[in-house]
Structure 1
């Protein structure tokens, strides 16, 4: 399993406790306040044509698209906590292209056709998010732009140069940027690659906007209804603590919480951290203004990444990863503070004032999982976006909706390796968990020691 460039930039999921999602503090997302208006839980027996488990980006995107394509279908969404209670509401709001491994690795392992198609697909995913926001009139602090992946050392610079060479060979949009042409916010780096289209959003507001779009289209959304099991009878049945949902089709959009309901997807849950400063002074904002439309993502395992919020806070992620969907015992505020100071001299007096964490889902090969659960097409699933969840999850949900609406899936599996029943096998058990936890601790320690002096 590769953790390269693991950043946790916003992946959907389902939580049993919205409050515990952010032990170290709260993200600076205004959209999170909407969670104070709860929806009713599942009680008794509810019947529907399609039942979706998970009120994160994947589940709500599936429901909203399906309701638009097939308004005759009765669609329900069920969540253990509430809308945006998982990583969909506590990500860092980066919406960008790229799916799976790097372009130069994809060319080597899968060939030019798949590499090109995968990147075009990821660009279409970003476009889909922008169209959804416009169609739903979703107020989510949208800032369209690009993303800049940068190199802090010669090894990273060499890797990014190879990425630029691959992009040119494939004819896709990824521009190599020499050090002298980097914006002031990234002036300390040795160069980078600029990807587009991209954007930043308030992820909680985007997810709540999807929920409102669903309800305007007739979708019923139930909160505080943890699905304990799925009974594959003549029609699938979702069993909750206080009731059950009987449906002809089921979509499992639980992502990092797949261990109980969707273990066959072969995704592994990890916990990543982020933090934010207070609003920055005007003179500092003048230096970092480019981060509003072009976040900076440092190349490398658990390396820091940066964006500005509409209210002038600097959001920083990276530096800590834990095993499992529950919160870590504590991230590294010292890493995040050091990341702030290292970005630019203008920031040396600034510090992180709040931190939070969220669960993401990884696969061994870095590709998501989108398809049916085994041979039974009555149950579909999607997840494992590996830290690039806002665009990929939205587009994956729309794909599943088209599959359900038309009665057949698009013939994409030859071009898109993530259209599949499951990811590569991942061993499990207590010994494996301990080994993985030790490996992640070493990675976290290495990332901290590289930055924290």
Structure 2
């Protein structure tokens, strides 16, 4: 994602206001390796690190187009929560109860894996157990959450539903919230998590190159071209999301979507007291065009959402001032006492989404020389870490990829021109259906 700070400060973000480590050099000349990982976000870092942990003799190389910690993985909301794929009721309807239960259990295990992983590596990423609430601000969404809670209960999953009184006891200013589903979650600083994983990977012997944008991939000979350099790899992992369409013909499966986020100025003691929010849990909106909110350690609030189809990497630049206003208006829906609050930072960035809402961890050929891991559809912090572990151990022949959730139906493969026409209309319809009078 791109921070809204001035271009003369390309490495200053809300999570990493200044770099914490040295920039790795760009590749030079012609290199060879056993495995090349394209993408230095959470998926790529986890895959590369776990490849070395599973098979230390492997020569693993990681290529990051920008600087690690300043891409999409380092600029998300930092909510490490369960859930994967479509809404649980849709999974039950289309794939059955056993699949839906196993998929949620996998995501729940991924949350605990992520927290344990950060602790074991002693990464200072401001990790704290806070939980996440999916909240309804409209009667129709409150009914939807009631039905969803019933589905979780029928599957034997512990996802309690709080009524309005219980919600307001914790969030006294949020009187519009009708009810809330409660998920176990950890909140963290995703930029610091990425930098900590980079350090751990380097310590294990992963060769990392930054400012190394892959311009071309010759799959038949396993060669990646980065500027005037080339990397010949026995196996290649594409751990990229929004930018994957620029590598090979993925744009019919993975949709690049622009998401917007803003961080407010620091709240005063009086404002924090009026809001409450003493548990500091993350909030996730039940409306179709969702928004997420969370308090930050320095007293500011983060809010994000307002997705738009990204026709190119500059798709969100012109929209930032408008969407900053939209996001702050959404914040006042939750907490009326901060109606006049202003934003310190606004940014936008690319996510990878699929039409069927399932992420992708799969080989791109029969012999497993090329893999794709990504398209998290907004739920990637825990899943990316756990999936990178699972893929690494599968690639080294030590375990098989879990049957669930990765062996799920593949996303529809539609012509790019059709996607470019229909997806913006669909997102605009979601935006319209989510509007509320302030």
> TM over 0.5, yes or no?
yes
Match of 1:377, SS state, is coil
Partner of 1:143: 128
Cα offset for 1:80? 1.5
CA contact (8 A) 1:371 1:421 kept: no
Between 263-272 and 115-124, the greater mean CA deviation after superposition: 263-272
Q: Could you give the per-residue CA deviations for residues 282-307 of structure 1, whole angstroms, max 9, x where no partner exists?
A: 23223445366411112012233210
Structure 2: distance between partners of 1:203 and 1:311? 15
Does residue 49 in structure 1 map to residue 40 in structure 2?
no
Does residue 238 in structure 1 map to residue 227 in structure 2?
no
Q: Kindly tell me: are residues 255 and 176 of structure 1, through their superposed partners in 2, closer, same or farther at Cα, counting changes over 3 Å?
A: same
Partner of 1:261: 247
Does residue 336 in structure 1 map to residue 336 in structure 2?
no
Partner of 1:375: 366
Q: Kindly tell me: are residues 106 and 435 of structure 1, through their superposed partners in 2, closer, same or farther at Cα, counting changes over 3 Å?
A: closer
Please show how residues 23-422 of structure 1 align to structure 2 within 5 Å.
23=4, 29-31=14-16, 33-34=18-19, 37-182=22-167, 183-184=170-171, 186-196=174-184, 198-233=185-220, 236-264=222-250, 266-288=253-275, 290=277, 293-324=280-311, 326-327=313-314, 328=316, 329-331=318-320, 332-406=323-397, 409-410=400-401, 412-413=402-403, 415-416=404-405, 418-419=406-407
Q: Could you give the per-residue CA deviations for residues 284-334 of structure 1, whole angstroms, max 9, x where no partner exists?
A: 223445366411112012233210011111101123423245241213122
Does residue 22 in structure 1 map to residue 8 in structure 2?
no
Structure 2: distance between partners of 1:28 and 1:247? 33
CA contact (8 A) 1:324 1:359 kept: no
Between 281-290 and 361-370, the greater mean CA deviation after superposition: 281-290
CA contact (8 A) 1:55 1:83 kept: yes
Q: Which runs of 5+ in 1 are unaligned?
A: 1-17
Q: Which runs of 5+ in 2 are unaligned?
A: none
**Aligned Cα root-mean-square deviation (Å):** 2.3
Q: Kindly tell me: are residues 399 and 368 of structure 1, through their superposed partners in 2, closer, same or farther at Cα, counting changes over 3 Å?
A: same
CA contact (8 A) 2:359 2:375 kept: yes
Match of 2:299, SS state, is coil
CA contact (8 A) 2:12 2:18 kept: no
Structure 1: distance between partners of 2:26 and 2:13? 28
Structure 2: distance between partners of 1:403 and 1:132? 19
Q: Kindly tell me: are residues 114 and 325 of structure 1, through their superposed partners in 2, closer, same or farther at Cα, counting changes over 3 Å?
A: farther
Cα offset for 1:450? 2.5
Between 325-334 and 294-303, the greater mean CA deviation after superposition: 325-334
Structure 2: distance between partners of 1:422 and 1:243? 34
Cα offset for 1:33? 2.1
Q: Kindly tell me: are residues 120 and 325 of structure 1, through their superposed partners in 2, closer, same or farther at Cα, counting changes over 3 Å?
A: farther
Structure 1: distance between partners of 2:149 and 2:407? 27
CA contact (8 A) 1:43 1:243 kept: yes
Structure 2: distance between partners of 1:205 and 1:64? 16
Match of 1:406, SS state, is coil
